[in-house]
Amino acid sequence: MRSGEINIAVRHFCRAVYDHEMLSRWFIASIVALLACALFQTGVLERFELITLDYRFLFKSTKALSGDIVLINMDEDSIKAIGRWPWPRKWHATLIRALHDYHAKAVAFDVLFSEQQAGFDDAALQEALKESGSVFFPQVFELDYADIGQAYRGKGVRQVTKPLPLFSEYLKGIGHINAEPDSDGVFRRIPVAIGFNGETSCHFGILVAASVLGAPPGSVSLNPKKHILTFDLPDGSKRTIWLDRTNQMVVDWQARWGRDFKSYSYIDVIKAYAAAHKGEPAALDLNGFKDKICVIGLTAAGLTDIKPIPIQKLYPAVGVNAMIINDCLLKKFTCPASPVVDLALVFFVSFISTFIMASMRPLKGRFVALALTVLYALIANVLFDRYRYIIVAFYPCVGIVLGLAATHIVMQINEAVEKTLLTDQAIRDGLTGLYNIGYFKAALQIELDRRAADGLNALKLAIIMFDVDNFKRLNDTFGHLAGDTVLREYASIIKSKCRSSDVAARYGGEEMIVMTSGIGAPGAFEIAERIRVAVADRQFRFDNKTCSTTISMGIAEYGGERDVAGLVGKADCALYEAKNSGKDKTVIYKGQVCDTTSARPPKMP
């Protein structure tokens, strides 16, 4: 495609945008909405979306914490008293007996017991597990988190590290403790189920909570198509956990570490139990563990599995499992919107906001964009705060900003088109669409001045003058409307046969003129002949009669003229000769002298 054709296409598009305001608003709004959806689908701004979710967790108005959960921390004091890790398992056996004797409802160790120790220690722990019957141990899988959405089927799962068989048979349950951070390194969600070797392991925290609530063994069920996990309750009802698109549970983080659950030092519990056995006063009342869910894990510096969560940068892993148990007990589950809902929100908000702003001035558009962004952010926050419903928050705001930018660009286009239209009206002939004679003379004078300055190195230049033969007779026979039709058609022929760099204008009445830069009289003659032949072949039909007409042309080449009148006069003289020598021909000026005023009507200024 030639550059001239490209320019014409661009101008037509801009004119369409300018002329059809409503259509342009729909078009721009659709483009912006589709662009915002494309950004959402590719996830290029996912980190910012996750930040908006973190703020919703951080600023939610209500915090729900169960008083039935207590933490027993393997902290620095315990390390000093007992010794370096790992500890002899007789200590864990003693702790289990203490909690059993004081009627703890469940004991959940966030510690792996996958390797053997001295026979006496393992035997002591085995005996304590047997006596208690309410202890839960974890296991961990080695898996590929790229396939986390299919982990429940065992896809991407390579192996498992589980408790020793001598412990497993006396445990109340075994659940996995796998978790993978999001793309920004923050832990927000956990896989609820992982399959391996034909068996499915529920998450440790969900397993403990389901057991405490009285769910029958094996009642925890995942529906991967609906993205929900359920377990039965003794009253016949079901507790439902809504999952995200990868079948993971987005944890409802309630409070920071130290402000969440009541906690005790591991060694303090052991010492209090020993004192109670001796009948001595204890610093800790062990009756406080009655009917409690005791979550035991490492919190000592250097041994703790620290995880960044939405509301805190450093959060021990034992707290993560306790928080999951808490959410399940209190039925505090988040509900992530489906991908279809999120995509629809991105499209709808982007489209509507862009459509609204497209008819506004820039300053008002900015205020509206700010108001819409704040309004949508408030809606997203209210839905989360009241219902724990998680909708996409950042990408719709991106769509609003894109819409604002797009409307500004369209406004600039409209202003440019408007200026172009006004300019066209000032320099173009209203009937033929060619330039008017005023513009032509100004353009020709610029070219003459340029060639005068260039001297011997000047490019060639020629002009062609046209006159429709017997035009008065055509007007008299068929009317002036028919004459206007002929002029418009001939102007169209001239534009189609000239080069994109040529300047064609209506000189006046039925006369037209073309400036051809870069070629002399021979080149202009070729262009003129193409136009003359095309005009002669054109047939018109008026009043059921067919007619045609011809044109005569005169050509003059630049020969050092300093003004427009000199060069145009030569072309006019050649045109006069063409008219007087039979018409329907092209004549090149070669120095002939002629008196055009006596034979031809005066030109329009």
Residue in this structure with the two tokens 């959402």, named with its chain if needed: 40
Give me the torsion for CA of 349, 354, 360, 364, rounded to 10°.
50
- C-alpha distances in Å from residue 575, one per residue of 289, 469, 523, 557: 115, 11, 17, 13
Catalytic residue among 49, 510, 511, 577: 510
How many angstroms from the chain centroid is the CA of residue 459? 52
> Which segments within 411-560 are labelled E, that is strand?
461-468, 503-508, 511-517, 540-542, 545-547, 551-557
CA atoms within 13 A on the CB side of 10: 11
Q: Kindly provide the b/e burial profile for residues 320-330, where b requires at least 16 CB atoms within 10 angstroms of the residue's own CB.
A: bbbbbbbbbbb
- Pairwise CA distance, residues 256 & 321, whole Å: 14
Query: Cα angle vertex 345, ends 343, 349, to 5°?
Result: 125
**What are the φ/ψ torsions at residue 331 (nearest 5 degrees)?**
60, 40
Give me the torsion for CA of 121, 127, 132, 138, rounded to 10°.
50
**Residue 402 and residue 39 in contact, taking contact as beta carbons nearer than 8 Å:** no
Amino acid at 88: P
Q: Is 510 designated active site? A: yes
- Pairwise CA distance, residues 518 & 71, whole Å: 91
User: In whole angstroms, how large is the CA radius of gyration of the chain?
Assistant: 44
**Active site (catalytic) residues:** 510
